[in-house]
Amino acid sequence: MKAIRRFTVRTVLPEQLQPLHELALNLRWSWHPETRDLFRSVDPDVWAATGEDPVRLLGEVPAARLAALAADRRFLRRLGDLADDLREYLAGPRWYQSAGQQAAAPLPAAIAYFSPEYGIAAALPQYSGGLGILAGDHLKAASDLGVPVIGVGLFYRHGYFRQSLDRDGWQQERYPLLDPDELAVTLLREADGTPARVDLALPGGRTLAAHIWKAQVGRVPLLLLDSGIEANSPAERDVTDRLYGGGSEHRLLQEMLLGIGGVRAVRAYQRLTGHPAPEVFHTNEGHAGFLGVERIRELVADTGLDFAAALEAVRAGTLFTTHTPVPAGIDRFDRELVARHFAGDAALPGVPADQVLALGAETWRGGDPKLFNMAAMGLRLAQRANGVSTLHGEVSRSMFNGLWPGFDAADVPITSVTNGVHAATWIDPAVVRLGATEIGADRAEEAMTTGETQRWTGLERIGNAEVWDLRRTLRAQLVDEVRHRLRASWRQRGAGEAELGWVSSVLDPDVLTIGFARRVPSYKRLTLMLRDQQRLRALLLHPTRPVQIVVAGKAHPADDGGKRLIQQMVAFADDPAVRHRIVFLPDYDMAMAQHLYPGCDVWLNNPLRPLEACGTSGMKAALNGCLNLSVLDGWWDEWYDGQNGWAIPTADTGEGVLDPDSREAERRDDIEAAALYDLIEEQVAARFYDRGSDGLPHRWIAMVRHTLVTLGPKVLAGRMVREYVERLYAPAALAQRELAGTGAFRAAHELAEWKAGVREAWPVVRVEHVEADCPDEAQELGSALALRVQVALGPLEPADVEVQVVSGRVDESDRISDACLLALKPVGGPDLDGRTRYEGSLELCRTGPFGYTVRVLPAHPRLASPAELGLVALPPEMAGMDAGVLR
């Protein structure tokens, strides 16, 4: 018989143990080993049974045990010390407060960070993959550094999904209901005790309401909006039912609630707690893009600004981070569906529906006029944007080039901040202890927090024997974990205990161990290693240099192609001849990952280049002394140095992303798989098993040590968040303050009017004549060309534009590379024909083929980039050329 209603009965803790609640409700425990050890000591069996979740632990530990702990002086001293440590962590000054004292302008009082998913801990399953884990690591690093971030997301009652396999190896999904009362979240309440609530108007007079759950991530509050409340009708109640579920309208409502409702949740939190108002809004991918529309509505309603001025004020303080390297990864909605949700009785006051639609319009060549593009809206609403690795920045500039017609991809105003990972979450405590013996515990903690390179020096002095003993210990821990999980998986698949005796001999703690775990879209190529199964078997079963592989990953529930890849991998791993050397573990999550990364010797990543935006799993592995074996994509393209792992060669056809079923794609995969086998056999395994007279693989250990010392500080989320603060948050806050002024937003009005005037006048702006001294003859290095350019500006003033010379090496088609920019100066006023002359001297600082061109760009001190308006005037010789081509 089923219950008609479910609720949680909380344990009443003795007064002496009340600080346990404080520790359990702050998710800092998820990256603080001492706090986890304290909870483990409460009741080790219950701790393990509850999945190492302090909230569930306190709900299930027997009352007699609690009474015993309340009388245990040693436990109470530990509890008191850890409670004091948490309070000091929450209140004391950290890196951000020190940086603020040295900054030329005040750093942002607060930053609102929006993401559709967050991977904080396995006990709070609100994530699906890398995007959510990155968002969780961002919040944790911000907390450690003292950066005043407010996280905003959705609370999914069913999370993503739990994965299992059937007897045939086909992925099965389960969506267990999450009870907020059993999680480390609290309901945001009004002063009278009623739940705080945000409402969104929907078409047909309907309302989408949501309560706000707060998860405390160290110093950072994370606000999660929950539509599963009685005030909603059944359809609206299900908006936040599960992550990335439902049809198009369901997804649109999720993204409206995240963006519009998220801003309103931040305002409610400000009002109820006195938290400073965010000066910067950071949207992690396009899912939260509607936050900019809501902030425009606020300014129109609160200050009387018109839409154009409000747009400029919003843009100044907004940052958009893109994570996708392909257009197919962008959310796009039917234009009429969006129009219906922003018009009539669903309209936002002061924000016309046609203006909203224009923000997401695909106006570029090849765009679909019937679709609304969330990434396009995100870029139009943000004055600053970035990709998540250097290579991904290049890919993003090319992918979004159509929003800036007339500019080369290199000029598109999208920078990059390479992702990082939160060290304290992902480094095994044994690795930290080994480092602390050499550089000290305090310095080890600072090294993991800040990412400052000098903090990592000294690790190179750790002895070879100590490094190798640690690696063997971590490998053995992984072997035990794999056997436990594999047995549970086979039981779920229907196997009886009598059939599973072989599981106890799966994997060997002394065999080279390779890990591969991630989501399973086709571009990540889960089954590349299966291209030549005979060759793979030979590697696994080599008599003197065997290899073992641990594989995990989830396919999206609607992705049957990804499920077939998993089934192929499982079929191979089920073979009795090799199942002791290769395993597939279902239900990949943070808890599994925290065992996988430390326990593997090599982390394998073989995506289609350049489709891996960053790929942070290899970073987590590197922090534990695991070497990377990867295609040069994402972060590995930027930081591979030949001594920290191996690069898998790519069979680049130069034809972009190929149809996966094409003959060319098959040939490419065959070539890259063969290269992978060769690397494993001839370099990776050969080095791992190359032992000295003392039994140690000295060259391998040298690579491990080099990885820790050189990659350690680079791959940290602390380094990443510091970059965001210094390069993007601080400039955005300053720009926002300048446009707001004293609150009258006069500068926003002026900027909007200036842009409107420039756009209206631009059709008559042109470069009419360019001349130089002896431009067609060979020139000597170090000489200079005197340039004179005649420019028609129409009604614009010289101060409204910048006339630039773009110069550099040229190829056979006269295309400029490694361009240098020189701004020319106006000489005198306009002539009788209204033309203004510009002059300058171009120094010839490079030998070989050299070329230049001239262009005119809008110029204003409050533009973040000369390309911001997407306007450029080129010489008449370039008339008719495709947008984006400069010669």
674-729 residue pLDDT tens: 999 999 999 999 999 999 999 999 999 999 999 999 999 999 999 999 999 999 99
Round to whole Å and give the CA distance between 206 and 237: 12
Task: Classify burial at 797, counting beta carbons within 10 Å of its beta carbon; exposed 0-12, middle 13-18, buried 19 or more.
Answer: exposed
- The DSSP string of 537-568 is HHHHT-SSS-EEEEEE----TT-HHHHHHHHH
In which band, very low, low, confident or very high, does the pLDDT at 487 lie, cut at 50, 70 and 90? very high
In which band, very low, low, confident or very high, does the pLDDT at 456 lie, cut at 50, 70 and 90? confident
pLDDT digits (tens, 9 = 90+) for 143-196: 999 999 999 999 999 999 999 999 999 999 999 999 999 999 999 999 999 999
pLDDT tops 50 at residue 831: yes
Strand partners, 154: 225
> Residues of the chain with pLDDT > 90: what percent?
80
pLDDT digits (tens, 9 = 90+) for 422-449: 999 999 999 998 888 776 766 777 777 7
Instruction: From 431, 389, 443, select the one nearest 704 (Cα to Cα).
Output: 431
Q: What is the mean pLDDT of residues 803-831?
A: 84
pLDDT tops 90 at residue 648: yes
In sequence order, which residues have a C-beta less than 8 Å from that of residue 654 and are 6 or more positions away? none
Strand partners, 836: 791
CB atoms within 10 A of CB 494: 9
DSSP type of residue 646: E
pLDDT tops 60 at residue 673: yes
Confidence (pLDDT) at 245: 81
Round to whole Å and give the CA distance between 520 and 163: 13
Confidence (pLDDT) at 1: 66
pLDDT digits (tens, 9 = 90+) for 718-775: 999 999 999 999 999 999 999 998 888 999 999 999 999 999 999 999 999 888 876 5
In which band, very low, low, confident or very high, does the pLDDT at 882 lie, cut at 50, 70 and 90? very low
Strands 318-321 and 332-334: unpaired
pLDDT digits (tens, 9 = 90+) for 37-95: 999 999 999 999 999 999 999 999 999 999 999 999 999 999 999 999 999 999 999 99
Confidence (pLDDT) at 705: 93
| Structure-token match 């590995």, residue found | 636
pLDDT tops 50 at residue 884: no
Round to whole Å and give the CA distance between 213 and 189: 9
pLDDT digits (tens, 9 = 90+) for 236-268: 999 999 998 889 999 999 999 999 999 999 999
Confidence (pLDDT) at 820: 85
Round to whole Å and give the CA distance between 25 and 120: 13
The count of residues in the chain is 887
Of the candidate ranges 114-118, 445-449, 560-564, the one whose mean pLDDT is the lowest: 445-449
Output phi, psi for 47, to 5 deg: -55, -45
In which band, very low, low, confident or very high, does the pLDDT at 299 lie, cut at 50, 70 and 90? very high
Round to whole Å and give the CA distance between 680 and 677: 5
Confidence (pLDDT) at 528: 95
Round to whole Å and give the CA distance between 74 and 234: 51
Confidence (pLDDT) at 887: 22
| Structure-token match 């020096």, residue found | 457
Strands (DSSP E) contained in 312-413 are: 318-321, 332-334, 371-373, 384-387
Query: Two tokens at 705?
Result: 């040590």
With contact defined as beta carbons under 8 Å apart, do 650 and 401 qualify? no
In which band, very low, low, confident or very high, does the pLDDT at 785 lie, cut at 50, 70 and 90? confident
Strands (DSSP E) contained in 793-879 are: 801-810, 816-823, 825-827, 835-843, 850-858
Confidence (pLDDT) at 564: 96
Q: What is the mean pLDDT of residues 817-840?
A: 86
Instruction: From 23, 55, 185, 60, select the one nearest 118 (Cα to Cα).
Output: 185
With contact defined as beta carbons under 8 Å apart, do 14 and 66 qualify? yes
Confidence (pLDDT) at 778: 64
With contact defined as beta carbons under 8 Å apart, do 177 and 158 qualify? yes
Confidence (pLDDT) at 5: 60
CB atoms within 10 A of CB 304: 12
Confidence (pLDDT) at 62: 93
The 8 Å CB, 24+ separation contacts for 694-698 are 694/465, 696/464, 696/465, 696/468, 697/468, 698/464
Confidence (pLDDT) at 438: 75
Instruction: From 592, 504, 585, select the one nearest 549 (Cα to Cα).
Output: 585
DSSP type of residue 462: S
Round to whole Å and give the CA distance between 313 and 688: 57
Confidence (pLDDT) at 845: 75
Confidence (pLDDT) at 666: 87
Query: Two tokens at 158?
Result: 């069913």
Strands 111-114 and 280-284: parallel
Output phi, psi for 155, to 5 deg: -100, 110
Q: What is the mean pLDDT of residues 496-503?
A: 93
Confidence (pLDDT) at 317: 97
Q: What is the mean pLDDT of residues 193-201?
A: 97
pLDDT digits (tens, 9 = 90+) for 519-534: 888 889 999 999 999 9
Round to whole Å and give the CA distance between 479 and 502: 14
Q: Which helix (H) or strand (E) holds 95?
A: helix 95-102
* pTM of the model as a whole: 0.94
Confidence (pLDDT) at 129: 87
Hey, is 632 helix, strand or coil?
coil
Confidence (pLDDT) at 819: 79
With contact defined as beta carbons under 8 Å apart, do 373 and 362 qualify? yes
Round to whole Å and give the CA distance between 520 and 529: 14
Confidence (pLDDT) at 460: 78
With contact defined as beta carbons under 8 Å apart, do 485 and 506 qualify? no
Confidence (pLDDT) at 885: 29
pLDDT tops 70 at residue 783: yes
pLDDT digits (tens, 9 = 90+) for 327-338: 888 999 999 999
Instruction: From 29, 32, 22, select the one nearest 53 (Cα to Cα).
Output: 29
- The DSSP string of 158-213 is T-S-EEEE-TT--EEEE-PPP-GGGTT-EE-B-TTSSBPEEEEE-GGG-EEEEEEE
